[in-house]
Amino acid sequence: MGYLIGAFPTGVVVTRLWGAPDVRQEGSGHVGATNTFRQAGLGAAVLVALVDLLKGVGAVLVGLALTGDAWVVPVAGASAVAGHCWSVYIGFQGGMGLATAGGIFLWLLPGGPVVFTAIWLVARALLRHSARAVMVGLTLGAPVALLIWRPAPPVTAYVLVGVGVLLVRHVSDFYREYATIREA
């Protein structure tokens, strides 16, 4: 169920409502807030980001309501992120998963996104490439946040599995950026 909630293609629906080009056919081809901003503007992007944030939290809350077991958090959370990244509703295309995962991170471990963002900003300035900076932010930010806040085991499991899903999703952009660098 977490996957199906996360798979709702917010960017596709919102750009269609805005009368903008299909995000899957323009720009990066991703269906998240960044490409929605490029295709439909700030208002559409903010709406997509908010809904995508809530998709992850909603999936976890539904799982908790149905089971009452805290161990549903990593399963429902990571499933929602995977659903956003590879949506069954749009031919297994999707977004990069940061907003969906970020909503869950903000709810379960509010300081975690702050750590990730700080590391990402430094990495972005040094590396000048977004996918590499995201990967550095995730691989360094997750352990730092876990060491600082020492959350309950189900939350720790979500952080590790959620970061794993995000890293898998960002690998394709990493290689695309790397090919672009090599050509330059």
Q: Is the pLDDT of residue 182 over 70?
A: no
- Say how many domains are in the chain: 1
- Kindly state the tokens that stand for 7: 């798979």
* 3-class secondary structure, 121: helix
Q: Is the pLDDT of residue 66 over 80?
A: yes
Band of the pLDDT at 81, cuts 50, 70, 90? Answer: very high
What is the per-residue DSSP string for 2-70?
A: HHHHHT--HHHHHHHHHTPPPTTTSTT---SHHHHHHHH-HHHHHHHHHHHHHHHHHHHHHHHHHH--T
25 Cβ neighbours under 8 A, 6+ residues apart: none
Q: How far is CA 107 from CA 2, 27, 62, 136, 175, in A?
A: 16, 31, 14, 22, 31
Q: Is the pLDDT of residue 130 over 90?
A: no
> Domain residues for 83?
2-183
